[in-house]
Amino acid sequence: MKLNVTMASAPGMKHGNEKPQQDRYIVTGTPLGKLLAVMDGHGGSEVSDFISTHIKDYWNSCSEGTPKGALMEMFVRLANETARWHSQGSTLSVMWIPNNTYYAYIATLGDSPVIVCNQLTLKVSPSDNVKTNEVERTAAVERGGVFLKGYICVFGSENCIAMTRALGDNSLGKVVSKEPHVFEAKLAKTCIIILATDGVLNASYGGTLEEAKPLIDIVLEGGDAQSIVDDALRRKTGDNATAIVCQIGKLTKAMMKSGFSKETFEEEPQYKVYKLNCEECGADVPEDELKPVASKGRGFVKLVCVSCKKALNKRG
């Protein structure tokens, strides 16, 4: 499977002045696949800088056997390491595409969109923007937050942000969740993938089909990541704009059906534990003695019988 990847980023303009560029992105290959990520910093660029510098090493050091489990493990480590920042934070949207499979594994925290489009469907990641997601806003308030003028904040802290989930922002405590949305997506032999910061859309991205479709149209018309960023600057969204566009094959407007059928990514349980009976030696393998062997393939966990060491493959 050949991936054609383009990347672009530019600072936005607000009130006639160029904004500090706090967006970061990374596209990197490993022997097992490709890792793509975008970060949208707020309050400064230190958290997004830290993530972009360390994310590849953290990913490569994950011991969890499934791709979704490895993503969760990486986010936990990043949450712990970025807790030192009290009034700076960042979104993080990550995609892992293993070699030789048409599957992608996605984790999002914040309001940086991930979009996957094929000939029939357009899938859009949820947004944790406090203005547009009532469910997320209610959950943040129940955790002790205060919704004020489009931002979530807590008493005793001057730090207010527009998201219910982010890395950093330790002054907001448990009000801002560090738990990502994690998904699996099947890719088509011709498809378009976009990871971006919300500056390519608007300041209150809501995770809707109507917001995502114009970005796909740009690529269908022959555009790339730079085209998406240029379009945002032309529309004066007032925010920094960053985009990664990944194409498998060449999807064109002529190949599209009459209209998109929107699907939402389905969030799945993060971990599944199996109690196995070894076919080789007949031994029962207790749940707490299953020995996972790291494998970031298409979601399969290799488990080893503790009695005879026979490998047992089960879907994770």
H/E stretch holding 142 reads helix 134-142
More confident residue, 306 or 243: 243
For residues 125-143, one letter each, b for 16 or more C-beta atoms within 10 angstroms of the residue's C-beta and e for the rest, the string is bbbbbbbbbeebbebbeeb
In angstroms, how far is the first alpha carbon of the chain from the final one?
24
Task: Kindly state whether residue 270 falls inside one of the protein's structural domains.
Answer: no
More confident residue, 194 or 296: 194
> Is there a single domain that holds both residue 163 and residue 284?
no
Task: Kindly state whether residue 66 falls inside one of the protein's structural domains.
Answer: yes
Closest CA to 243 of 213, 215, 203: 215
* Residue-level pLDDT at 267: 54
H/E stretch holding 233 reads helix 225-235
**pLDDT > 80? residue 303:** no
* Residue-level pLDDT at 297: 41
* Residue-level pLDDT at 289: 43
In the chain, which residue ranges form alpha helices assigned H by DSSP?
Answer: 46-60, 67-81, 134-142, 209-220, 225-235
Task: Kindly state whether residue 271 falls inside one of the protein's structural domains.
Answer: no
> Is there a single domain that holds both residue 209 and residue 309?
no
If pLDDT is split at 50, 70 and 90, which confidence band does 65 have? confident
> Is there a single domain that holds both residue 254 and residue 149?
yes
Per the CB < 8 A criterion, the answer to whether 95 and 193 are in contact is yes
pTM for this predicted structure: 0.81
Number of domains forming the structure of the chain: 2
Residue 124 in tokens? 């859009």
**DSSP 8-class letter at 64:** -
More confident residue, 100 or 54: 54
> Is there a single domain that holds both residue 289 and residue 221?
no
> Is there a single domain that holds both residue 283 and residue 163?
no
Q: Average pLDDT, stretch 154-182?
A: 91
* Rounded CA separation 133/125 (Å): 12
pLDDT tens sequence across 192-207: 999 999 999 876 777 7
**pLDDT > 80? residue 270:** no
pLDDT tens sequence across 143-160: 999 998 889 999 877 889
* Rounded CA separation 92/38 (Å): 6
More confident residue, 286 or 142: 142
Which range, of 9-23, 66-80, 95-109, 294-308, averages the lowest pLDDT? 294-308
Give just the sign of the alpha carbon dihedral 39, 45, 46, 50.
positive
Q: Average pLDDT, stretch 147-176?
A: 90
pLDDT tens sequence across 100-130: 889 999 999 999 999 999 877 888 898 899 9
Percent of the chain whose pLDDT exceeds 70: 80
Q: How far is CA 8 from the centre of its chain?
A: 18
* Residue-level pLDDT at 295: 40
N residues, the chain: 316
* Residue-level pLDDT at 259: 57
Q: Average pLDDT, stretch 224-233?
A: 96
More confident residue, 267 or 171: 171
Radius of gyration of the chain (CA): 20
Task: Kindly state whether residue 141 falls inside one of the protein's structural domains.
Answer: yes
Per the CB < 8 A criterion, the answer to whether 57 and 9 are in contact is no
**pLDDT > 70? residue 306:** no
H/E stretch holding 183 reads strand 181-186
> Is there a single domain that holds both residue 14 and residue 58?
yes
> Is there a single domain that holds both residue 306 and residue 246?
no
**pLDDT > 80? residue 22:** yes
CATH for 81? 3.60.40.10
Inter-helix orientation angle 67-81/46-60, to 10°: 140
> Is there a single domain that holds both residue 239 and residue 291?
no
* Residue-level pLDDT at 137: 93
Q: Average pLDDT, stretch 21-48?
A: 95
* Rounded CA separation 104/118 (Å): 13
* Residue-level pLDDT at 55: 97
If pLDDT is split at 50, 70 and 90, which confidence band does 298 have? very low
Domain range spanning residue 74?
A: 3-264
> Is there a single domain that holds both residue 147 and residue 296?
no
> Is there a single domain that holds both residue 192 and residue 248?
yes
